[in-house]
Chains A and B, each alone.
Chain A
């Protein structure tokens, strides 16, 4: 049976330190924004850490929730793309074919998690910043949609070496709050965590069947 990659994020461990956000930038050649573009809401982050506040001071409770593409099994972003630029590959990863995308934005409008970002301008890196580009990851051109790919290049490389793949954010997280693995393998840590009592899924009621399981703080 083929792999079905998924992720579990333990919100009891996550401290909201955003090392995962930096790791994703370092791994996937994300485009640099600048103050003007960021002010127009065009900074590109494939993973963001949401901070929710409940209650009033002084009994205020904070919840950090890292949100990335959920690689939904019933992804609303897939049927609406007119050119098959986004589809679910046999291993369950919702892939984005950059050179196939024509930029109708429909996939982003239909994604309830708002995790898709667009290249409004062709990205540039002042010399010699491009030296740090990861050769395994395509540099996107202007006018295409992009989003978290579950670090598909690391998954492929690990499969080639017969090792357990670890996306950059999972590898970088200091609190070891993120676990990645094959949901089809009942022995894998992520599969077990997915079945734990604390496991919930984001916007599950929309029927998207996301493959990122959030383990709530209290048991």
Chain B
């Protein structure tokens, strides 16, 4: 930490933080004045403030560089130049055990959302058909919105639905308490990165509430099945750091790993051996590996009999045939697993299928079989995450819909139609996105760097909470959702007070580490795994269903997979120009995303790079550029999620197509998660076109150093 003497600087400003933090929360709608007073901003001087990245559930701790900034505001006598503290850069917080001082591409680009030209600057009221809004004052907005909620709460509280994002922290606690206060059903997570399938599997096998934490850095040989942990999975930065250690962090050995996925993801690319399985055959592969392990080792312990059956009563050759893998290759992986001093099986569902829960459950049992269970721990649950993920069903019965941190019109197949028929929609989105455009009232949220938040990281080695105190003054007439809910509560005279960060961080605050100290260093991260529950598996018979697909194979011969992209995640990053122009890791495309087609299928339909192609499922069709991906699995089309927003600021509106729009509106039976890989499609060539690529890779490979 010698790079910045941020303790010294921080101690100077923390006096201000402590001084006011424990003051009573002032009634004014201005946030708790923890702001960096302008006077303290010395031109040319930088200050680093701990914060948290809210771009995904991983909740990486960040350090934000604050310096003097200027902007032009219009006052009554014309535009004036205003001098205020401005966020200059966001980097990882070295003390946070999740980010370890590092951030992913989206984490670096967050500052563009804070200073985005198209941020909503105040409450909006729908004035005519969808998308036409007039501005209004906060007082009117709160009274009108609370009136609508109050009316519904009085008549039929169960018709109030709150769709929210995948983060657990002050926001989720505030929403849960608010809904409890109006006796409405608990909030529902509507996000593609909440990983309900991994949660359900861990609960079914180990009874855990938190996501499994895989200690990749200590493993010697890993087989990961379906978990694209270097791309978009439970904690991208954390597992990337672990991967770095796993590979070259130890002088004694270099970790090796095989990865099975139906797409050449970043994890598959980094693997020593990629097992390109047919879509949805993860359970069959896991069963085959288990069977080969037992056959080689001669016994199935420590698995209980009921479970061992799943691995013994199967024919590995047939199973691997279904997966489309050569037995010899899988045998090499099995041998390596058996020889490895510290083997580990990682199971996940980066691309979800009808049988994904079975797959992840099988991966846990296989992990026990090969002896990798010591490297898997539950992420201690400091704040209970929102349990329900059945956004599809909730939306069907909603009369009053509240949306925060979610964009159902984009991420939930079939939701766009449902939104049109819902009576009252209230959105807290800071941008006019696909869902907010249907709203009757928009009560825009602060950007999370402007408000005080606590986030419980989705994956962590020990009990952790990351805290961000607000240190820059809000730019516009926006309001933190925690505050707005308190105001709505007050207007409806509920006994509901504003949920504060201090209150939420209480569980981990101690006398020697009070909240003010936690806030000063940006969170509390305990390495010790004392509280983490050991793996106490509950035996039960294992299912290994074959994947079911929507659309008959004759009419729709190809598979279609929508996957979380590095630059847009589930589409929320599309409003950031830096992300729009970031060359896509798969196709190096900029300002649009192509559909990835394997060379054989492309050749059979005379499709070349950049051609326009149409992909049709039973539920819709889209036209996109074609990218002939040398590593794509034959007759399996993949497309990164992110483009195709109807409304989402100047950088994303009407650009490209949304792969989720043609997915079948069917959801995972156990958890309600969107099935991103379970839709069959038909591909037709439309004509020629141009795909903007920064450094196209499929040209002849003339790498010099290899020769």
B578→A49 contact, CB < 8 A: no
Binds B, one of A14-22, A82-90, A103-111, A139-147: A14-22
Q: Any chain A CB within 8 A of the CB of B705?
A: yes
Minimum Cβ distance to chain A for residue B209 (Å): 27
Q: Which residues of A contact B349 (CB under 8 A)?
A: none
Minimum Cβ distance to chain B for residue A49 (Å): 7
Minimum Cβ distance to chain A for residue B175 (Å): 29
Query: What sequence of 0s and 1s flags, for each residue 93-124 of chain B, a beta carbon within 8 Å of any chain A beta carbon?
Result: 00000000111111111011011110000000
For the complex, what is the distance from the CA of A168 to the CA of B631, rounded to whole Å? 31
Binds B, one of A24-32, A70-78, A91-99: A24-32
For the complex, what is the distance from the CA of A32 to the CA of B270, rounded to whole Å? 30
Minimum Cβ distance to chain B for residue A151 (Å): 11
Interface size class of B (residues with CB under 8 A): 35 or more
Q: Which residues of A contact B248 (CB under 8 A)?
A: 10, 12-13
Minimum Cβ distance to chain B for residue A134 (Å): 6
A26→B104 contact, CB < 8 A: no
B240→A45 contact, CB < 8 A: no
Q: Any chain A CB within 8 A of the CB of B302?
A: no
Residue in A22, A38, A202 whose CB lies within 8 Å of B591: A38
Query: What sequence of 0s and 1s flags, for each residue 232-269 of chain B, a beta carbon within 8 Å of any chain A beta carbon?
Result: 00001100110110011000001000000000101111
Q: Any chain B CB within 8 A of the CB of A131?
A: yes
Q: Which residues of A contact B633 (CB under 8 A)?
A: 57
Q: Any chain A CB within 8 A of the CB of B588?
A: yes
A45→B694 contact, CB < 8 A: yes
Which residue on B lies nearest to A174, using beta carbons?
B240
Minimum Cβ distance to chain B for residue A125 (Å): 9
B591→A34 contact, CB < 8 A: yes
Which residue on B lies nearest to A206, using beta carbons?
B704
Q: Any chain A CB within 8 A of the CB of B582?
A: yes
For the complex, what is the distance from the CA of A21 to the CA of B585, rounded to whole Å? 11
Contact A174 to B91, CB < 8 A, known contacts A22-B105, A34-B591, A58-B276? no
B254→A19 contact, CB < 8 A: no
Which residue on B lies nearest to A162, using beta carbons?
B2
Q: Any chain A CB within 8 A of the CB of B296?
A: no
Q: Which residues of A contact B243 (CB under 8 A)?
A: 13, 15, 175
For the complex, what is the distance from the CA of A46 to the CA of B33, rounded to whole Å? 39
Binds A, one of B82-90, B309-317, B374-382: B82-90
For the complex, what is the distance from the CA of A40 to the CA of B69, rounded to whole Å? 33
Q: Any chain B CB within 8 A of the CB of A39?
A: yes
Q: Any chain B CB within 8 A of the CB of A68?
A: no
Which residue on A lies nearest to B701, using beta carbons?
A52
Residue in A17, A33, A133 whose CB lies within 8 Å of B240: A17
B5→A19 contact, CB < 8 A: no
Minimum Cβ distance to chain B for residue A10 (Å): 6
Residue in A12, A16, A131, A158 whose CB lies within 8 Å of B266: A16
Q: Which residues of A contact B67 (CB under 8 A)?
A: 135
Query: What sequence of 0s and 1s flags, for each residue 663-678 of chain B, a beta carbon within 8 Å of any chain A beta carbon?
Result: 0000000000000000
User: Which of chain A's residues 31-84 have a Cβ closer than 8 Å to chain B?
Assistant: 32-35, 38-39, 43, 45, 48-54, 57-58, 60, 62-64
For the complex, what is the distance from the CA of A15 to the CA of B266, rounded to whole Å? 6
Q: Which residues of B contact A43 (CB under 8 A)?
A: 581, 590, 694
A62→B269 contact, CB < 8 A: yes
Which residue on B lies nearest to A161, using beta carbons?
B5
User: Which of chain B's residues 372-412 have a Cβ closer than 8 Å to chain A?
Assistant: none
User: Which of chain B's residues 602-646 have a Cβ closer than 8 Å to chain A?
Assistant: 630-634
For the complex, what is the distance from the CA of A205 to the CA of B703, rounded to whole Å? 12
For the complex, what is the distance from the CA of A167 to the CA of B5, rounded to whole Å? 17
For the complex, what is the distance from the CA of A38 to the CA of B115, rounded to whole Å? 23
Q: Any chain A CB within 8 A of the CB of B526?
A: no
Residue in B111, B231, B577 whose CB lies within 8 Å of A32: B577
Which residue on A lies nearest to B229, using beta carbons?
A15
Q: Any chain A CB within 8 A of the CB of B417?
A: no
User: Which of chain B's residues 526-584 have a Cβ closer than 8 Å to chain A?
Assistant: 566-567, 577-579, 581-583
Residue in A19, A128, A216 whose CB lies within 8 Å of B71: A128
B3→A163 contact, CB < 8 A: yes
A132→B87 contact, CB < 8 A: yes
B91→A51 contact, CB < 8 A: no
Q: Which residues of B contact A171 (CB under 8 A)?
A: 91-92, 101-102
Q: Any chain B CB within 8 A of the CB of A138?
A: no
For the complex, what is the distance from the CA of A166 to the CA of B579, rounded to whole Å? 23
A172→B91 contact, CB < 8 A: yes
B3→A12 contact, CB < 8 A: no
Q: Which residues of A contact B117 (CB under 8 A)?
A: 126-129
B630→A18 contact, CB < 8 A: no
Q: Which residues of B contact A18 (CB under 8 A)?
A: 105, 566-567, 582-583, 585
B631→A62 contact, CB < 8 A: yes
A51→B104 contact, CB < 8 A: no
Minimum Cβ distance to chain B for residue A36 (Å): 9
For the complex, what is the distance from the CA of A154 to the CA of B2, rounded to whole Å? 14
Q: Any chain A CB within 8 A of the CB of B498?
A: no
Q: Which residues of B contact A176 (CB under 8 A)?
A: 102, 241, 244
Q: Which residues of B contact A49 (CB under 8 A)?
A: 583, 585, 695
B88→A135 contact, CB < 8 A: yes
Q: Any chain A CB within 8 A of the CB of B27?
A: no
Residue in A19, A27, A126 whose CB lies within 8 Å of B104: A19
Q: Any chain B CB within 8 A of the CB of A23?
A: yes
Contact A26 to B89, CB < 8 A, known contacts A60-B630, A176-B241, A202-B705? yes
Minimum Cβ distance to chain A for residue B234 (Å): 14
Minimum Cβ distance to chain B for residue A160 (Å): 12
A17→B104 contact, CB < 8 A: yes
Contact A32 to B236, CB < 8 A, known contacts A10-B248, A164-B2? no
Residue in B3, B72, B109, B236 whose CB lies within 8 Å of A25: B109
Q: Any chain B CB within 8 A of the CB of A101?
A: no
Minimum Cβ distance to chain A for residue B52 (Å): 16
Q: Which residues of B contact A173 (CB under 8 A)?
A: 102
Minimum Cβ distance to chain B for residue A149 (Å): 16
Contact A35 to B655, CB < 8 A, known contacts A22-B582, A62-B264, A174-B104? yes
A127→B585 contact, CB < 8 A: no
A13→B269 contact, CB < 8 A: no
A57→B695 contact, CB < 8 A: no
Which residue on A lies nearest to B118, using beta carbons?
A126
Interface centre among A13, A126, A214 (most CB of B within 10 A): A13
Q: Which residues of B contact A174 (CB under 8 A)?
A: 102-104, 236-237, 240-241, 244
For the complex, what is the distance from the CA of A32 to the CA of B116, rounded to whole Å? 13
Q: Any chain A CB within 8 A of the CB of B598?
A: yes
Q: Which residues of A contact B105 (CB under 8 A)?
A: 17-19, 21-22
Minimum Cβ distance to chain B for residue A63 (Å): 8
5 tightest CB-CB pairs across the interface, nearest first? A174-B240, A62-B269, A22-B105, A126-B117, A175-B244
User: Can you offer 17 A-B residue contacts whose CB atoms are under 8 A?
Assistant: A17-B104, A18-B567, A18-B583, A25-B109, A38-B581, A38-B590, A48-B695, A51-B269, A62-B264, A62-B269, A129-B112, A129-B116, A131-B70, A132-B87, A132-B88, A171-B102, A174-B104
**6 further A-B pairs in the complex, CB-CB below 8 A; given A21-B582, A135-B67, A175-B240:** A22-B106, A26-B90, A35-B591, A52-B701, A134-B89, A219-B254
